């Protein structure tokens, strides 16, 4: 046994040997992983812990499967629901911690997240629900992941730009989505750009993938790029915000109606109340920036982001 293994690691290994249940094994292996010095001399041990961790997780999954409830389906809230996909340790949970009030567990070892955790991200006055998911990995992927993705409006791929395995990991995720007949993520978030050469690594990744995905550079540690991330998610969702106002009154900008781009004045009226929609004759259109200024528009007029509508019935 290498001499540099500390007492914490040895205690964890002891715990592992005495573990009775899959759950106890996982807990002990996680401690072993966290306390193992990570260098060339321990590479074999690292691989071994990862393998045992993955096996123990599979085991615990099988046991729970018979009476599993659909805990993985997070009820949609906010304007849209977006799930975070990615390889282990890319920083999905860190991202949810950084841009929402939720606190999913973050840890330096892989396969930390086992359950979906939702959190609400604000882009200006729009709330977008992010859902942290367990990793997608050839060693082990939670069997309910495809349903969780299907249940959401869209998915974002989060990768660690410094991880030399990220190209293979992206390929694996793309192949998994194809197999499940699910669409590709609509955005690639290149995380951990604060690390040495992080920017360069991001540029290299973006060069390869920007034809397929818009790429955003972020660091959940320093916060760099997080406002761009929120804007990109909003933009890729193809949403428009519509405010309503009464004649002679000001619009309330705090809670927009959120519509899909391409929807019309009539669709907007339906969001407000179906009676409005049925009886709607026309609307007057205003814009925050002073454009339009009360222009009369018919029911089929396609609305734009931040349009203000005054309905006339």
Ligand X SMILES: Nc1nc2c(ncn2[C@@H]2O[C@H](COP(=O)(O)OP(=O)(O)OP(=O)(O)O)[C@@H](O)[C@H]2O)c(=O)[nH]1
The helix (H) or strand (E) run that includes residue 80 is strand 80-85
> Is 195 an interacting residue with respect to ligand X (CB under 6 A)?
yes
Q: Of residues 100, 166, 176, 220, which one binds ligand X by CB under 6 A?
A: 220
User: Could you give the CA distance from residue 162 to residue 164 in angstroms, rounded to a whole number?
Assistant: 6
**192 sits near ligand X (criterion: CB under 6 A):** yes
Binding status of residue 135 toward ligand X by CB under 6 A: yes
Q: Which stretch binds ligand X (CB under 6 A): 70-78, 163-171, 189-197, 243-251?
A: 189-197
Q: What's the sign of the alpha-carbon dihedral 83, 87, 89, 90? A: negative
Q: Which is nearer to Mg ion, 92 or 301 (CB)?
A: 92
Among 81, 113, 117, 129, binds Mg ion (CB under 5 A): 113
- Contact assessment for residue 270 and residue 284, using Cβ atoms and an 8 Å cutoff: no
Contact segment (CB under 5 A) with Mg ion among 54-62, 104-112, 138-146, 268-276 equals 104-112
Contact of residue 194 among Mg ion, ligand X, none (CB under 5-8 Å per partner type): ligand X
Question: CA–CA distance from 299 to each of 51, 120, 256, 286 (Å)?
Answer: 60, 33, 19, 15
93 binds Mg ion (CB under 5 A): yes
> Which two tokens mark 15?
């715990």
Question: Applying CB under 6 A, does 113 fall inside the site for ligand X?
Answer: yes
State CA 168 to chain mean position distance. Answer: 20
* Sheet architecture: strand order including 257-260: 257-260, 239-244, 307-312, 282-287, 295-297
Instruction: Compute the least distance from the CB of residue 81 to ligand X, in Å.
Output: 18
Binding site for Mg ion (CB under 5 A): 92-93, 112-113
Residues that bind ligand X (CB under 6 A): 86, 88-94, 106-108, 110-113, 134-135, 191-192, 194-195, 219-221
């Amino acid at each position: 046994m290498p001499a540099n293994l500390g007492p914490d690691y040895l205690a964890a290994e002891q715990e592992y040997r005495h573990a009775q249940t899959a759950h106890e094994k996982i807990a002990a292996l996680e401690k072993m992983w966290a306390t193992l010095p990570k260098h060339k001399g321990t590479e074999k041990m690292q691989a071994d812990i990862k393998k045992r961790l993955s096996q123990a997780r599979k085991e615990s999954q099988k046991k729970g499967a018979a009476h599993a409830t659909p805990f993985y389906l997070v009820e949609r809230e906010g304007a849209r629901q977006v799930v975070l996909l990615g390889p282990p340790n890319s920083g999905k949970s860190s991202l949810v911690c950084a841009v929402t009030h939720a606190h999913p567990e973050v840890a330096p070892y892989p396969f930390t997240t086992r359950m979906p955790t939702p959190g609400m991200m604000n882009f200006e006055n729009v709330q977008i629900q992010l859902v942290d998911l367990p990793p997608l990995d050839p060693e082990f992927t939670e069997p309910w992941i495809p349903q969780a993705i299907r249940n959401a409006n869209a998915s974002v791929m989060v990768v660690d730009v410094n991880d030399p395995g990220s190209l293979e990991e992206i390929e694996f995720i793309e192949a998994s989505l194809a197999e499940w007949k699910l669409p590709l993520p609509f955005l690639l978030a290149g995380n951990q750009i604060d690390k040495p050469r992080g920017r360069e690594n991001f540029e290299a990744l973006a060069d390869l993938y920007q034809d397929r995905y818009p790429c955003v550079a972020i660091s959940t540690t320093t916060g760099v790029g997080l406002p761009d991330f929120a804007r990109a998610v909003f933009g890729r969702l193809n949403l428009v915000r519509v405010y309503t106002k009464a004649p002679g009154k000001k619009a309330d900008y705090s809670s927009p109606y959120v519509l899909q781009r391409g929807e019309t004045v009539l669709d907007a009226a339906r969001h407000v109340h179906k009676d409005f929609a049925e009886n709607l004759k026309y609307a007057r259109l205003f814009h925050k920036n002073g454009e339009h200024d009360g222009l009369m528009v018919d029911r089929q007029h396609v609305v734009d982001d931040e349009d203000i509508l005054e309905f006339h019935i």
